[in-house]
């Protein structure tokens, strides 16, 4: 077994890796880790916004009950517009925190300085 192992270790491999192999692997790992970080940051911002909205709504509910009913009537009367605005804001946050950073990072990897 030792002779076989020595023979295998002495022979040259029948394949060769490109010179930039390690750089390409490191770039791919960096892209994946960066995307995970961008998504994590997006969800943190989203959670913070949801908590702030919940606190604001709870404050309105506890201090002004009459205004609360008026606010609910306004929101339910314009439900399509409210949902459209919320989806637009969600998309803008996602584009800012994930898409733009991801595409900028991909551009930097393709054209190193």
pTM of the model: 0.62
How many angstroms separate the CA atoms of 103 and 37, rounded?
Answer: 14
pLDDT single digits (tens) 3-38 = 888 888 888 877 888 888 888 888 888 888 888 899
- Give yes or no for residue 40 having a pLDDT over 80: yes
Decide: residue 47, CB within 10 A, 0-12 exposed, 13-18 middle, 19+ buried.
Answer: exposed
The two structure tokens encoding residue 12: 């040259």
Token readout for 69 is: 């009913």
What residue segments make up the domains of the chain, in order of their start? Answer: 20-110
Residues 108 and 34 sit within 8 Å (Cβ to Cβ): no
Instruction: Please tell me the distance from the alpha carbon of residue 75 to that of residue 73, in angstroms, as a whole number.
Output: 6
Convert the pLDDT of each residue in 93-109 to its tens digit. 999 998 888 888 878 75
């Amino acid at each position: 077994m030792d002779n076989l192992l020595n023979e295998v270790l002495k022979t040259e491999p029948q394949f060769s890796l490109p010179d930039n192999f390690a750089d390409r692997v490191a770039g791919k790992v960096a892209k994946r880790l960066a995307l995970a970080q961008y998504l994590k940051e997006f969800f943190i911002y989203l959670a913070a916004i949801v908590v702030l909205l919940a606190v604001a709504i709870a404050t309105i509910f506890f201090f002004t009950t009459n205004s609360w009913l008026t606010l609910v009537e306004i929101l339910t009367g314009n439900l399509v517009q409210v949902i459209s605005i919320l989806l637009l804001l969600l998309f803008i946050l996602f584009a800012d925190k994930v898409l733009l950073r991801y595409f900028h990072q991909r551009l930097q990897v393709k054209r190193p300085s």
